[in-house]
Chains A and B, each alone.
Chain A
């Protein structure tokens, strides 16, 4: 009985944290937000060198042979530094395909295959979006696809909840509040389905949990920044962090964030152990983390006062990251409904 991280996991965390701090400073993130492709490539190259795309891929297929718990630790670090990357999409694709198409998974580990994912059909269909699969060919559109802009392969979900791998065709960029990451509307026309997996729910649970971990990292960063600022900024002859009004805001953020960390670890472990509760936990973890992150984003900005509102400080990049994470692949209310259905409390 031990609830916590192993030495290797702590080391992995430290490695990625250091990479993010050294290789992905805010200046670089700003360049990425302005559309600088070289800046983005720096991140991709760095992550490839660390072998991060292979975290959950079995060793015999060229990966690190680790699990979702390790993946959420990496994702948390990426969220902390608001690093745009294909990590989430690659982890979801490789864990979905590990028993189905080992060749493709090997390519992901080697950095030769880069996945985009479009799972929106499992959660919401708007403005006529939706993918249909007929005689092995996929047609239609899917909104808010992740990492599709420079993908070599797509993992998509059709209207019946089946997953398919296909080659990228046309897509249209959807501009969001978060310009550091690219979101796209896929437009497929008779795209050949190479691989099909019957149940997409596992992939959705993994994607949700990774988004939750990302928001955890963002929240921790926003808390750290607020505390740091409150210890430096002086008003009325005192640092503002000595005022209870400010201290209590910081304490509230910490009190809400800290249990989320244990919850996300627990949910990741449940996915690794293939427990019955795992999807319910993943959906609820994202729903809850999103609510906490929304509170933290707003509160941290308030602690920063007027500076939190400026572009100069750049806090808004973190604010926008959780704003988007919250709506992606299920809003909190949608996910809570899915959790109620998944544990049989109500009919689907």
Chain B
């Protein structure tokens, strides 16, 4: 057990801290709205140039080209969190498509897509879930029928974030309806301005449209958009889902929210008494602090496993389930602590923290469901972590 940083890494931390501090004025502010605002793109370009994002991506594709170093990535993330300087872009294109293309894309696909994606010039959305294919993603029915050099796509996707802004989609389609469900799927890329695509915003319980529905009617797309091979899309998708689960349940983000909650409970008073002086609320706060400590330690443990290129085992499998639940409980306590003011939502005189606790309480429930529901996570923990038997398959297939 050694939680200290070697001189090389301490120096790296100081270097990153100094860079962020000296250049914070270049970062976009909340007024610079729009995914492609020039200030946002310029900031991204600066960060890539300094190796603060796209760090381990080869220079030939627009990355910084450093050796992969998990510890340095962590230091960078921590310094962004500590300084409060706006983070690099992190859409689904950057976090999920780019790693997939690096692993399985053709040279042409890498050449064409990675650089503009990294620089924020090309926005992507993910076409995975369908109304009839949620936890059972492999049962998806959006069809792609071959026609010369093209596929003709018909069907519907749902839970598609940034579909309205996206230039491109990475999409799972059924290319072989006769094959077993995992074997007839293809992973394909195509432009969102292709005729026949309709995007409808999907308003969720938070009151905003964080997601969309996407409808495909005779959408003709070139076969050159296939990643890896036709009918091998399930393998390709699994490569990206691994990246998504890694994003959910980051213990540093949880810690930051907990610290915010402590500040709130120290600052706010009811009947002249600080919220933190209420023993029942304080007890719940301390119970959550224990869980935050546990998830942070668990995060250090899984990071060490990754550094050693070992499997983190159960410690890794539980992160999404436990992390999302903990975030939800932190928001829940903030609302309870705020009492009747906890229900205020939307601009108004008595609103606290811009209504963000209510927003998080609702949105976090979405994250408990999205990216593999809590129930699916429990199946994974039981089957892969505890080696328990799988649910017997029904004899008859629908």
* Chain B CB within 8 A of A218 CB: no
- B377-393 contacts to A, CB under 8 A, are 377-379, 381-383, 385-392
Q: Which residues of B contact A239 (CB under 8 A)?
A: 389
The reply on A269 being an interface residue by CB < 8 A is yes
Q: How far is the CB of A255 from chain B (nearest CB, A)?
A: 4
Contact of A250 with B388 in the complex, beta carbons under 8 Å: yes
Interface stretch, picked from A98-106, A283-291, A310-318, is A283-291
Considering the complex, which residues of chain A in the window 194-239 have a beta carbon less than 8 Å from any beta carbon of chain B? Answer: 227, 230-231, 238-239
Residue B300, interface by CB 8 Å:
yes
In angstroms, Cα B303 to Cα A265, docked, is: 15
- B297 contacts chain A at the CB level, 8 A cutoff: yes
CB closest chain-B residue, reference A255 = B318
Minimum C-beta distance from B265 to chain A (A): 9
The yes or no answer to A143 lying at the interface (CB within 8 A) is no
Residues of chain A with a CB closer than 8 A to B301's CB:
3-4, 262, 265
Q: Which residues of the other chain, B, contact A307 by a CB distance below 8 angstroms?
A: none
Q: A2-B304, A259-B297 are in contact. Are A242 and B381 (CB under 8 A)?
A: no
What is the minimal beta-carbon distance from B306 to any residue of chain A, in angstroms?
11
A69 and B2 CA atoms in complex are apart in Å by 12
Q: How large is the interface on A (under 10, 10 to 19, 20 to 34, 35 or more residues)?
A: 35 or more
Whether, in the assembled complex, A348 has its beta carbon less than 8 Å from a beta carbon of chain B, the answer is: no
Minimum CB–CB distance for A24 against chain B, Å: 25
Quick one: which of A3, A230, A242, A287 has the most chain B CB within 10 A?
A3
Option from A241, A252, A269 in Cβ contact (under 8 Å) with B378: A252
Q: Of the candidates A227, A244, A260, A263, which one forms a contact with B391 in the assembled complex, judged by CB atoms under 8 Å apart?
A: A244
A266 is an interface residue with CB less than 8 A from chain B: yes
Per-position binary interface string of chain B over residues 281-292, scored 1 when its CB falls under 8 Å from any chain A CB and 0 otherwise: 011011101110
Contact B6 A5, beta carbon cutoff 8 Å? no
A247: contacting residue among B71, B307, B388, B392, CB under 8 A: B388
Please report which residues of chain A, range 254-290, place their CB below 8 angstroms from some CB of chain B when the two chains form the complex.
254-256, 258-263, 265-267, 269, 273, 281, 284-285, 287-288
In the docked arrangement, what's the CA distance between A2 and B4, Å? 8
Does B73 count as interface, using CB distance less than 8 angstroms?
Answer: no
- Would you give the shortest CB distance from B397 to chain A, in whole angstroms? 19
A263 touching B389 in the complex, CB below 8 Å, given contacts A3-B301, A248-B378: no
Contact call B382/A247, Cβ cutoff below 8 A = yes
Q: How far is the CA of A340 from the CA of B276 in the complex (A)?
A: 10
Q: A259-B318, A333-B283, A345-B282 are in contact. Are A288 and B294 (CB under 8 A)?
A: yes
Q: Is the CB of B388 within 8 A of A6?
A: no
Would B1 and A291 count as touching, CB distance under 8 A?
Answer: no
Nearest CB of chain A from residue B75's CB, rounded to whole Å: 10
In the complex, A261 Cα to B321 Cα: how many Å? 17
- Contact between chains at A269 and B290 (CB < 8 Å): no
Please name all residues of chain B whose beta carbon is closer than 8 Å to the beta carbon of A247 when the two chains form the complex: 378-379, 382-383, 388
Q: Indicate if the CB atoms of B286 and A266 lie closer than 8 Å.
A: no
Instruction: Tell me, yes or no, whether A37 is within 8 Å of chain B by CB.
Output: no
User: Would A284 and B282 count as touching, CB distance under 8 A?
Assistant: no
CA distance A337 to B296 in the complex (A): 22
Interface residues of B in 135-150 (CB under 8 A from A): none
- B residues near A291, Cβ cutoff 8 Å: 287
Task: Check: B95 CB closer than 8 A to any chain A CB.
Answer: no
Contact indicator A3/B3 (Cβ below 8 Å): yes
User: Within 8 Å of chain A (Cβ to Cβ): is B34?
Assistant: no
- Show the binding face of A for B, using Cβ within 8 Å: 1-6, 69, 227, 230-231, 238-239, 241-242, 244, 247-248, 250-252, 254-256, 258-263, 265-267, 269, 273, 281, 284-285, 287-288, 291, 332-333, 336-337, 339-340, 345-346
Which 3 pairs from chain A and chain B are nearest by CB? A336-B286, A288-B290, A262-B297
Q: Can you identify 28 A-B contacts, CB atoms within 8 angstroms?
A: A1-B3, A2-B1, A3-B3, A4-B304, A244-B378, A248-B378, A251-B377, A251-B378, A251-B385, A258-B315, A259-B297, A262-B300, A262-B301, A263-B290, A263-B293, A263-B297, A263-B298, A265-B297, A266-B297, A285-B293, A287-B286, A287-B290, A288-B293, A332-B287, A336-B287, A337-B282, A337-B286, A339-B290
